[in-house]
Structure 1
Amino acid sequence: MEKEKASKDELEFVRDIERSLANLEPPMSSDCCIYRVPRNLRKGMKEDAYTPHAVSIGPLHHGKKELEPMERQKLRYLQEFMFHTDSSLYALFCFIKVMEDRIRSCYAETIPFNSNEFVKMILTDAAFIILHIVKSNYDDLDEVVYRNSCLMSSIRRDIMLLENQIPFFVLCELYDFHYRMPSPVLKLAFPLPLELCHYRGQTYICDYISLMVCLMETSKDVDLLVQKKILDNSLSDSNEVVTFVRNLRSNIVVDRRHNYYNNLFTSLNRHCEQRWVEAFRSQQKWHITLKVWLTVLKVDYFSNPWRTASTIAASLLLVFTLSPGFQVTSDSEILVESLRLQVISDSEILARSPGV
């Protein structure tokens, strides 16, 4: 009986595992390119550094209450997009619907929205980004969004965030097939967290930050880089720049084997080592020269008491002569000259004496 009960428990346990396997999410697709910011980066920076302030793009921050005002603006942009493309909402909806599975596979986590909600969100966000990029290149637009420089700055920042993205191919295909307004080439930058998650061995931004940390150890370094127009400091204090870069660097693990600036590091180290060697050699030469001059001075001018006295007297005369307001009188000249002749005479006698 106990054996039979044990078998039933084991069977139920196996069924639980089977149900878990059946509900298991599919493995991450090779198309995956949109991630959550790693926790180690969030710890090193303020939480809102990776959170949108004005507009949500994509599903990861969609529906947040503080971002609702821009949702209404995005719908206005969708309406304007339909007008410029001469497309029906149904046609645009179906166009995105065809790409739904491919779009979902670009996210590192399962998106909980149903199909219709997901397609509506992607369409609205894509239309907003395209129209926003186009409008941003016109200086005479009389719209609330473009008159508000603070809001414009927040939007530019938000559409660069790793967690606030839709796949780039959506923008390209939607633009190519439907949009007819003249526009500059669409360009979206890859932020730092994306490199860490997706581009192993090609972490150019991370490598650049590592380089800047080496160059900015103190606020004086920052001031020098700003002065040489290498760095544009938009923060209030140079110390803030040093702290910011250090915090950023402390959460980045750089693979030195693939560091983009390896050659530059090597050249700089070699240059510094060479300068140190040259400075050391120059110092050695200076010591040798000084030693030679001291030897000459000792032999020629201080080899005996008479030469020493003569040298001191001549030096004093030179100092007094060059001093402002000092004039050599005739009595002084006679005294010094007598002293000089006496010193020379005594020196010659001493030099002829045995044992000197």
Structure 2
Amino acid sequence: MEPGNHLEEFTIIAIPQAWDLEPDKQPECCIYRVPRNLRNLNEDAYTPKEISIGPFHHGKENLKKKEELKLRCVQEKELKIHHCYAKNFHEIIKEDFVKMILLDSIFIIEHLWWTKQYPEEDNIHESISDILHDLILLENQVPFSVLEELYNFAYLDLPNHHNEDKSLPQLIGIVRFGEPKKVKHLTDFQRCFLLPQNRKCGRSFERVPCATKLSEAGVEFKVSKSENGGLLDIQFRKSALLEICPFLNMSWLLSCFPCFKCLEIMQPVLELKSFVIRDATESVVRNLMALEQCHYPWEAYVCNYIVLLDHLINTEADVDLLVEKNIIVNWLGNNKAVAILINHLCQQIVEGNHSCYFDLSEKIKDHYSSRWSKLMASFTNLYFKDFWRGTATVVGIMVLFFAFWNFLRPFVFHT
């Protein structure tokens, strides 16, 4: 280098890419190159002669003949996947379609695995919730069979220290009733989790009275304590004594004085599971209902449930009652918004003249249409609407009784 020349000489060094380096051994590493000292003993013993699987022998000329066989198998699998969608995706080339399905499936499995293993990660909880919501949208699905095959391949052979079920359904946390039902995808899985135990379908029922009117007619709304069944399980219970003697219904008294617990058996009960309504509820329910309209028109249980709920909720007052009874858990903050939401969900929904709540609706209507129920509804509304009105009524009855007794007493004692 000449004096005064401030340019420096540089030596160019080629840095190998990470792909070119031998990887560090990871715990899941299980596929190896046969060590050279072993391979030299018998090259043929370690070299495929018909078909290459994986990257080590990929592209070798003598093994290319069987690539057609692999392609045929892939095409058959691809065709099965294509048949799961109600549309032909000609705009997506074959290689991209397979790559897309594989990439999306692996992402779903890894995401579900991550949320199961690390539920305490609060810093990513919001992002996880958003993604999980998208994973149950009807148009955002891959066939469940693909997910299950990939999951079984990747995870079922992992050490099981607690003898727990490590299947994909168990990972998702939606295993109920020991059902052998083969689900189609994650939207279908979500529906399966909600299904009622009694799936007997009758005719589509006519409108039943709203919640406030049923309450006035003596029907008590209660949250189901049963661990069996899903959200769609609803029961209407009435004691045998009340069936014989409907005038013994004490709901008018319990509406004002709930401390009389011993009288609870003397009133009919409509028992439902708590329904939590949050921001994402409308989207989730609409996708489940859309699935039933397309794939389960004769078993539209979610649609049946929303139709029944639409009958029970006419106004904000009905929601007020159901929220008070904890039948509806309102995370929207506005009961009127819940009423509007439920009433709008049924638009453009067809039940196919079948409903799993036909028998239930008949029982409700029989009770509500009886003369005693109508009389008690008027009686309750006029005299036992709340604690103060009920107290005033009881005091008035006592004053009337004592006044009548004072009137009769001279005649009774004189006699």
Scaled by the length of structure 2, what TM-score is found? 0.43
Structure 1 or 2: more helix by fraction: 1
Q: Which has the higher contact order (CA 8 A, sep 6+)?
A: 1
Scaled by the length of structure 1, what TM-score is found? 0.49
Structure index of larger Rg: 1
Structure 1 or 2: more strand by fraction: 2
